[in-house]
Structure 1
């Protein structure tokens, strides 16, 4: 089972996105778990993640996450602002799964 870890500032808007992504994944029968963590907790939850997606508002932290994930073969990406703003769950999931391989 693949796990998508979303990371944001405080978790409010991202929790709505996670709910939408979970519904979309379930409707498509995808074997994926999706979870959101605030920035100050996310580093403690990298070990079981298949990919880390950062909210656009914390894109500045991408380098830190890439360093933390370097030896773990976990890709890190920033969710595009347009997809985040529109809560385009399907596109975000598809992009994440494409990077996981």
Structure 2
């Protein structure tokens, strides 16, 4: 099972996106756990993640997070996909980065 963790400034805007991603994953039979958290909880939530997704509003943290977690896949969610709450598109992007 893959663990996908999304972070944004407050953790609220990504919750809707997580719900949409979960529905797509269930429909496709993709075995994963998807969570949304605020950036302040990064140090508690990132170590267990297979991939860290960042909301566009915190994209400036990407380099720092990649340096902090060099063994993790880190991706900024495409702004257009995020704005449209495109769960399918974001999940497919994450799967591609994971090599799934």
TM-score, with normalisation over the residues of structure 2? 0.94
Q: Aligned residue for 1:19?
A: 19
CA distance in 1, matches of 2:26, 2:45: 23
Q: Aligned residue for 2:60?
A: 60
CA drift of 1:43 comes to 2.3
Structure 1 residue 33 corresponds to structure 2 residue 52 = no
CA distance in 1, matches of 2:82, 2:66: 21
Specify every segment of 5 or more residues in structure 2 that has no aligned partner in the other structure, as ranges: none
CA distance in 1, matches of 2:68, 2:3: 17
Could you list the runs of 4 or more consecutive aligned residues of structure 1 that deviate by over 4 angstroms after TM superposition?
none
Q: Aligned residue for 1:97?
A: 95
Whether the 8 Å CA contact 1:43–1:65 is kept in 2: the answer is no
